[in-house]
Amino acid sequence: MYKIVKKRDLAPNIFEMDILAPRVANSAQPGQFVIVIADEEGERIPLTICDYDKEEGTVSIVVQAMGCSTKKMAAYNEGDYFKDFVGPLGQPSEYVNEDIEEVKKKKVLFVAGGVGAAPVYPQVRWFHENGIDVDVIVGAKTKDLIILEDKIKNVAGNLYIATDDGSYGFNGMVTGLIEDLVKNQGKKYDLVISIGPMIMMKFVCLLTKKLGIKTIVSLNPIMVDGTGMCGACRVSVGNETKFACVDGPEFDGHLVDFDEALKRQTQYKSEENILNEKREGHVCRCQQQGGAK
C-alpha cells in the first residue's frame, strides 16, 4: 500500500499528489512514468512522474480527473492509500545518458501543453541542477489551466506562457509562440522536447521539421501492463513498431506516425463514454464496488 502524504489542487479538476514510495523515488529519472492502481478492482493508470524527492522517499503525480478511474483517484485524500504504485517504468530521457559537456552545448526548448507541464518540470529541473539554462513554453486553453508556473519558473532560464484565449501571456497556441520566438525574437534552438496532448505534439513536430530543429516527444498511448507484454501501447516510429512503455515513452517526434497514434488513442472512446454515462447515472463500476475512499 502506498500512502498519499500530500494532495494539492493545481487547477479545476487537476491535482497533485505526493506518494510515499521510497524505492520508486530512489531510482526515478527524468522522462519515466509510473502505473497507479487505486484499489483491488482499480484499472492500471499510467502517469508521468512530476517530481521525486529521494530523501523524503516521495514521488509526485499530477492527475486530471477526466475518465472514470481518474475521477475516482481524485476522491482520494491525504492519509489514504493506493493499492499499487509501480515504477519507475520506461526509458529515461536520452540526454541523461549523454556526455554532459555535449548536452551543455545545446540550446534546448521545452514545449508543454496543459497537464504536460507536469512531466516537463523534472526534466527542466535536471537541466538546472546540471547548470544548464533552458527555455520553456507552457500553453493552456486559459489562464486558470496553467499549472506549476512558479515551480517551473524557479528552474527555467526563460519561461514563456501561451493561452489559446489570450487571457495570459502569448495569445495563441504553443506553435504560434515557437514561431514567434524563432522568427521574430531571433531565438535559436538545437533541440525541442515537447510533452502534452498528442495533437499538440503532432503540430509541434510539423513546425519544427520545417524549422529544422530535432524534436523529442513523450507519447502517452493506451497502456495496459506497462511492461512490453500486451502490445496495447504500440506506435510506429520510422516504420518500426515500438512499445511506448518499454522502448519509450520518448521518441524522435519527426519519425512518429501521429495519425495512427491519434486513431489508436480514440479506439476505446465509446466504451469510456458508456462508462462515464453510467457513472452519471450512479451505476459506474467503481461506484458499484463501494466507491472511492
Residues that bind ligand FES (CB under 6 A): 223-226, 228-233, 243, 245
CA distance 9 to 63: 10
CB of 176 to ligand NAD, least distance (A): 8
Residue 174 binding result from ligand FES, ligand NAD, none, given CB thresholds of 5 to 8 Å by partner type: ligand NAD
State the cell numbers at 131.
547548470
Residue 243 binding result from ligand NAD, ligand FES, none, given CB thresholds of 5 to 8 Å by partner type: ligand FES
Q: Does 61 bind ligand NAD (CB under 6 A)?
A: no
- Total number of residues that touch ligand NAD (CB under 6 A): 22
> How many alpha carbons fall within 13 Å on the CB side of residue 131?
5
Residue 272 binding result from ligand NAD, ligand FES, none, given CB thresholds of 5 to 8 Å by partner type: none
Burial of 278 (0-12, 13-18, 19+ CB in 10 A): middle
CA distance 193 to 96: 13
Residue 206 binding result from ligand FES, ligand NAD, none, given CB thresholds of 5 to 8 Å by partner type: none
Q: Does 229 bind ligand NAD (CB under 6 A)?
A: no
Burial of 276 (0-12, 13-18, 19+ CB in 10 A): middle
CA distance 245 to 86: 12
Q: Does 21 bind ligand NAD (CB under 6 A)?
A: no
Print the binding letters for residues 67-106 with ligand NAD: x by CB under 6 A, - otherwise. ----------------------------------------
**Quick one: 90 or 114, whose CB is closer to ligand FES?**
90
**Quick one: 45 or 205, whose CB is closer to ligand FES?**
45
State the cell numbers at 1.
500500500
Residue 229 binding result from ligand FES, ligand NAD, none, given CB thresholds of 5 to 8 Å by partner type: ligand FES
Q: Does 199 bind ligand NAD (CB under 6 A)?
A: yes
> What would the DSSP string read from start to end of 39-75?
STT--EEEEEEEEEETTTTEEEEEEE--SHHHHHHHT
State the angle between helix axes of 258-265 and 198-211 in degrees (0 to 180), rounded to the nearest 10. 170
**Quick one: 115 or 286, whose CB is closer to ligand NAD?**
115
**Quick one: 108 or 245, whose CB is closer to ligand FES?**
245
Residue 68 near residue 277, CB atoms below 8 Å: no
Burial of 3 (0-12, 13-18, 19+ CB in 10 A): middle
Part of the chain binding ligand NAD (CB under 6 A), chosen from 69-77, 79-87, 108-116, 125-133? 108-116
Alpha helices in 66-181 (DSSP H): 68-74, 100-104, 117-129, 149-155, 174-179
Which residues in this chain contact ligand NAD in the complex, by CB under 6 A? 48, 113-116, 119, 139-141, 162, 164, 173-175, 195-197, 199-200, 203, 218, 220
